[in-house]
Amino acid sequence: MQSLFLSRFSSLYITTALFCLLFLVGAFQFEGFGSSRVVANLFSDNAFLVITAIGMTFVIISGGIDLSVGAVIALTGVVCGLLIGELQMHPLLVFPLVLVGGGLFGAAMGALIHYYRLQPFIVTLAGMFLARGLATTLSEESIPIEHAFYDAVSDFGMLLPGGAWVGASTLILLLVLVAAVILAHYSRLGGYIYALGGSAQSAQLMGVPVARTTVSIYAISGFLSALGGIVYSFYTFSGYSLAAVGMELDAIAAVVIGGTLLSGGSGYVLGTVIGVLIMGVIQTYISFDGTLNSWWTKIVIGLLLFAFIGMQRLLTRQQAARLATGAAH
């Protein structure tokens, strides 16, 4: 039982240990790196990416992929900019519209994937082009968002010891994280998602509603991408059609570094959060150093991806060998 426990959580342990190691290296090397303010900034600066990556986690656990998330973030920002910045609609009226729109967009892709037996890569790639093209058609220029509600959101939060500021974006992220953990591990849909990622045929034989589950997974991803777009607009106070280019790759990288198997069936939402924080720590280290090119972030993340993919392969082989040994006995 102990070996099974270690095998099940080993990738999560390794991800957590890596984050702690990187943070301690920065804390020992630079004054102020280990402060609570830096920790709070890691969450606030990456809140939109964490929210988006959580949705991506459910997709990858199910054995799929979603390449449209970055484009949905951009489209959400542009729509918010047009409706709030130019038409002066209240954000509390606009936000439900874009959240429902993001959920329906994801659900439509999920329906195409299931009912027409299409590859998620192709469907979501088409969704990426569609959302990005629509955002560019609506506006090629950056649209400023000036509204009293955005100012209130910017000022909302709490000050922690050490000068750390926990703002609205971080609070939204924490609420999404709690809801995602409950969904993944304490709901029937969460069990269906893991079963679908393990084996779609076996899941169907066990009575898993594959169609409804697939549509729900991509609807969740679309919804959280739209929510990430809203949080991103809090960060930039604007909407821009070229925003979040490549964000889908960052989200996938965070999910993989967080220990989720690309083949599906295994992974943890908390691991994805730590994966984003690792990427944030690397960026923070480069900022503190001041002599390194920002592209070193991409280089280190690429090396980490190779390492974690290799580790996943090794763990998968060990688990398969253990199961084969058990079956032989």
Give the pLDDT band (50/70/90) at residue 309: confident
Main-chain phi, psi angles of 7, to 5 degrees: -65, -35
Over residues 12-35, the mean pLDDT reads: 92
Can you give the pTM of this predicted structure?
0.93
Measured CA to CA, the distance from residue 183 to residue 191 in angstroms comes to 9
Give the pLDDT band (50/70/90) at residue 313: confident
The tens digit of pLDDT for each residue in 285-295 reads 999 988 778 78
Q: Is the pLDDT of residue 2 over 50?
A: no
The tens digit of pLDDT for each residue in 268-281 reads 999 999 999 999 99
Measured CA to CA, the distance from residue 123 to residue 113 in angstroms comes to 7
Measured CA to CA, the distance from residue 155 to residue 150 in angstroms comes to 9
Q: Is the pLDDT of residue 39 over 70?
A: yes
| Extended beta strands in the chain, E state | 143-144, 157-160, 164-167, 238-239
More confident residue, 312 or 179: 179
Multiple choice CATH, 2-324, 1.10.20, 2.60.40, 3.30.160, 1.10.3470: 1.10.3470
More confident residue, 69 or 310: 69
Q: Domain spans of the chain?
A: 2-324
